[in-house]
Amino acid sequence: MFDIQKIRADFPILSRQINGRPLVYFDNGATSQKPKAVIDEIAEYYNEINANIHRGVHTLSQLATDAYEASREKIRAHINAEFTHEVLFTSGTTFGINLVANGFASILKPGDEILVSALEHHSNIVPWQLLCERTGAILKVIPIDENGELILSEYEKLLSDNTKIVAVNHISNALGTLNPIKALIDKAHEKSAAVLIDGAQATPHLKPDVQELDCDFYVFSGHKICGPTGTGILYGKESWLNKLPPYQGGGEMIREVSFEKTTYADLPHKFEAGTPNIEGGIVLGTAIDYLNAVGFGNIQEQERDLLAYATEKLLEIEGLKIFGPTDLSRKTAVISFNIDGIHPYDIGVILDKMGIAVRTGHHCAQPIMSFFCIPGTVRASFSFYNTREEIDLLVSGVKKAKMMLS
Ligand code: PMP
């Protein structure tokens, strides 16, 4: 049974006040709040098992190593990867994409093509631009339509024998668009191109099955799924991870080092140089346990209700325009909107005075804002711990802001 009050009680921050009002946290797209189980586990790690991993013969080091590796296995099961060594710990989505882009520098030659979409976060654009500068490869962009959805016929036209990698997000952070990634992956594979999926905005809402998707890489961030900041996962198919060179050199990632020749460790360690965020990696497993205990079915049901309710109520406000798919089954619980003649930043400042946290601006997706010819939007992004009552507060807050600013 999904008991929203019980769920909310798991998140200590949700009972605090902001500017004298109860916090209404609608900036979940930027980062999620953390349940007590996650917060407590961080303290527990430092109180009970803190030690460096993979090195010591002593008991604490073994305990820390076991907990870290058990978390890796938990994450493997969660995303249904075939092998545990296909699951690499990173510091987040950005790191994962940069790791793959850097690796492709040894594969690409001038004239090869990389496809991204017009819906990408800057962290799935800039690493590929840097790669193009290094290799002479060419970046091509899958266009979007007025609903903020990819134009699949254009995608098919862009794919060619020169396409070496396609990098697209599963869900857009700026508009909430749910992309048909299975179809994108299958089409890319017909041209033998690899596919990287940026799952930063998908993993808070669904459980990806990387084998069913058949993606070559899938990246996401721990901090958006109730886990600690500075954690993330790069899933890569074994064959690809064996093909790519290491990203960083250092301790942990070697087999043998001499001044003449160094050889690298097996997967996953080849890509995990240096002392990692040990407690973060362990606690990311705790966060995934927490979400699975809530249940992704429940999460989706609650978020779909919030999205439908908020969309209906906000659209009653004259002059308010929502960007992104109008068919709510093609988007997640994100509402990106503007009000005629009012700057999104001003709305955000007034909402904050009422204790309501939303994001304003370009959401690290400037090309989308350019497409719609706007400076930015107000983005309210919901989580399963949000309520209809909070949406009522948002709607009355937006009405008040509109009155004050027009
Ligand atoms: N891609 C998408 C779609 C995102 O929403 C984000 C975070 N806003 C990122 C990538 C980057 O994630 P991080 O900052 O955690 O590396």
9 and 53 share one domain: no
218 and 302 share one domain: no
DSSP string, 211-250: HHHT-SEEEEEGGGGTS-TT-EEEEE-HHHHHHSPPSS-S
Distance 261 CA to ligand 1 centre (A): 37
User: What percent of the chain is modeled with pLDDT above 90?
Assistant: 99
pLDDT at 179: 98
252 and 399 share one domain: no
273 and 398 share one domain: no
Residue for token pair 């991993």: 53
Q: Is 94 in the pocket of ligand 1 (CB under 6 A)?
A: yes
Q: Is 176 helix (H, G, I), strand (E, B) or coil?
A: coil
Choose which residue among 91, 196, 201, 223 to substitute to test ligand 1 binding: the one with the highest number of ligand atoms within 8 A of its C-beta: 201
pLDDT at 55: 81
Chain-centre distance for alpha carbon 235: 13
88 and 213 share one domain: yes
266 and 393 share one domain: no
DSSP assignment, residue 265? Answer: P
Q: Which atom of ligand 1 is nearest to the CA of 172?
A: 3
Distance 399 CA to ligand 1 centre (A): 30
| Number of Cβ within a 10 Å radius of residue 70 | 12
pTM greater than 0.90? yes
Q: What angle do CA 218, 222, 225 make, to 5 degrees?
A: 100
Domain containing residue 378: CATH number: 3.90.1150.10
What pLDDT digit, counting tens, does each position of 352-390 carry?
Answer: 999 999 999 999 999 999 999 999 999 999 999 999 999
pLDDT at 1: 79
174 and 239 share one domain: yes
DSSP assignment, residue 16? Answer: -
Domain containing residue 53: CATH number: 3.40.640.10
226 and 329 share one domain: no
- CA separation for the pair 155, 11 (Å, rounded): 42
Q: Is 27 in the pocket of ligand 1 (CB under 6 A)?
A: no
Q: Is 98 in the pocket of ligand 1 (CB under 6 A)?
A: no
Q: Which of 274, 292, 310 is the last residue of a domain?
A: 292
Q: If you count them, how many residues does the chain have? A: 406
Q: Which of 271, 292, 313 is the last residue of a domain?
A: 292
Cβ–Cβ under 8 Å, residues 223 and 229 = yes
119 and 267 share one domain: yes
What pLDDT digit, counting tens, does each position of 227-249 carry?
Answer: 999 999 999 999 999 999 999 99
Q: Is 339 helix (H, G, I), strand (E, B) or coil?
A: strand
pLDDT at 187: 98
288 and 301 share one domain: no
Choose which residue among 177, 364, 383 to substitute to test ligand 1 binding: the one with the highest number of ligand atoms within 8 A of its C-beta: 364
E strand spans, 289-376:
320-323, 334-339, 356-357, 359-361
Distance 32 CA to ligand 1 centre (A): 12
Distance 84 CA to ligand 1 centre (A): 24
- CA separation for the pair 221, 96 (Å, rounded): 9
Cβ–Cβ under 8 Å, residues 97 and 167 = yes
Asked if pLDDT for residue 159 goes beyond 90, the answer is yes
Cβ–Cβ under 8 Å, residues 79 and 210 = yes
Burial class from Cβ neighbours inside 10 Å (0-12, 13-18, 19+) for residue 321 reads: middle
Active site amino acids: 364
71 and 137 share one domain: yes
What pLDDT digit, counting tens, does each position of 249-291 carry?
Answer: 999 899 999 999 999 999 999 999 999 999 999 999 999 999 9
How many domains is the chain partitioned into structurally? 2
Distance 94 CA to ligand 1 centre (A): 6
Q: Which of 292, 325, 353 is the last residue of a domain?
A: 292
| Residue 268 CA neighbour count, 13 Å, CB half | 22
67 and 97 share one domain: yes
Q: Is 221 in the pocket of ligand 1 (CB under 6 A)?
A: yes
Residue ranges making up the domain that contains 357 = 4-30+295-405
